[in-house]
């Protein structure tokens, strides 16, 4: 029996991540590119993905709203912005469609609403869809438990000049893992800037520093700094493919899950390691 492919709609299909998701979906053996959405201001609404990117058979169109999709589909993949992603989640709650959400920068209120909405549809929402980064999360938790005493910890992230939020969602997730491992509150431990006479570094600090420039896809470094020694854990994304491929794997995995909120740790079987 031939395996059924997962039909995916890409939100913000003409963005940097959106275009790569379209390309990889169209080339996948397990996923069908069903169409995409874009804003009216883009000038692309109503056009086919074949016209715009040379992909598909000409039936896949860009629409403004998911309700306007002419083709049937199973899941949506959204790497846009919180306001757009909240509309995606509300649609999925009404329709029961699966959603993979890689947007970052949600407010606490938006995150709470998203979790409530996911009671009605299967959703993976993660600050980073890379398999490598999610492995890094586990390693960070393991090292933090071992090197609790006598080591200071700093998180440094760098992204391209166009990134809207800072620090990155991935850096904040790493900081959250560290805080939980140490039994600290991130609200009290997180230090996001140092300037002037700051005094000595507190023992219960987690430094989280942001760099922006050029076309850097994404780099995260976690430093455990002791007396006379230092461990650095580094992940460098060399292209957006690692995020896009992770999202496609997530969409396929969601087809076999009940409604609820998941992340990449669930998909990779690492939940106990970093919870």
159 is known as an active-site residue? yes
Single out the catalytic residue among 47, 50, 138, 163: 163
- Each as own residue / partner, the long-range contacts of residues 98-101 (CB below 8 Å, 24 or more positions apart, any chain) are 98/74, 98/122, 98/123, 98/251, 98/254, 98/255, 98/257, 99/75, 99/123, 99/124, 99/125, 99/254, 100/75, 100/76, 100/124, 100/129, 100/247, 100/250, 100/251, 100/254, 101/125, 101/126
Largest CA distance in the chain: 69
- E strand segments, 116-205: 122-125, 152-159, 190-191
Give me the helices (H) in 28-130, please: 49-53, 82-95, 108-117
DSSP 19: H
Cβ pair 251, 119 in contact under 8 A: no
Measured CA to CA, the distance from residue 154 to residue 25 in angstroms comes to 37
Single out the catalytic residue among 97, 159, 235, 252: 159
Q: Which residues lie closer than 8 Å to 176 by C-beta, 6 or more apart?
A: 186
Measured CA to CA, the distance from residue 39 to residue 42 in angstroms comes to 5
160 is known as an active-site residue? no
Measured CA to CA, the distance from residue 14 to residue 214 in angstroms comes to 20
Question: Which residues are tagged catalytic?
Answer: 159, 163
């Amino acid at each position: 029996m031939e395996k059924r492919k997962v039909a995916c709609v890409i939100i913000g299909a003409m963005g940097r991540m959106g275009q790569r998701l379209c390309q990889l979906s169209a080339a996948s053996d397990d996923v069908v590119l069903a169409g995409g959405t874009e804003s009216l201001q883009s000038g692309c609404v109503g056009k086919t993905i074949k016209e715009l990117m040379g992909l598909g058979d000409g039936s896949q169109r860009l629409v403004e709203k998911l309700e306007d999709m002419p083709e049937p589909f199973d899941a949506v993949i959204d790497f846009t912005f919180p306001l757009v992603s909240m509309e995606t989640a509300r649609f999925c709650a009404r329709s029961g469609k699966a959603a993979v959400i890689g947007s970052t920068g949600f407010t606490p209120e938006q995150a709470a609403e998203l979790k409530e909405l996911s009671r009605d549809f299967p959703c993976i929402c993660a600050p980073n869809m890379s398999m490598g980064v999610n492995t890094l999360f586990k390693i960070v938790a393991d090292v933090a438990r071992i090197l609790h005493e006598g080591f200071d910890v700093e998180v440094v992230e760098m992204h391209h000049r166009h990134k809207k939020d800072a620090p990155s969602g991935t850096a904040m997730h790493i900081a959250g893992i560290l805080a939980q491992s140490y039994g600290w509150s991130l609200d009290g431990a997180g230090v996001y800037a140092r300037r002037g006479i700051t005094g000595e570094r507190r023992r219960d600090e987690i430094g989280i520093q942001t760099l922006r420039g050029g076309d850097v896809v994404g780099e995260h470094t976690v430093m455990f700094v002791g007396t006379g020694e230092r461990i650095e854990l580094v992940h460098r994304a060399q292209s957006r493919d690692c995020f896009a491929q992770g999202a496609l794997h997530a969409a396929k995995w969601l087809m076999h899950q009940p409604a609820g909120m998941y992340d990449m740790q669930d998909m990779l079987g690492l939940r106990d390691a970093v919870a």
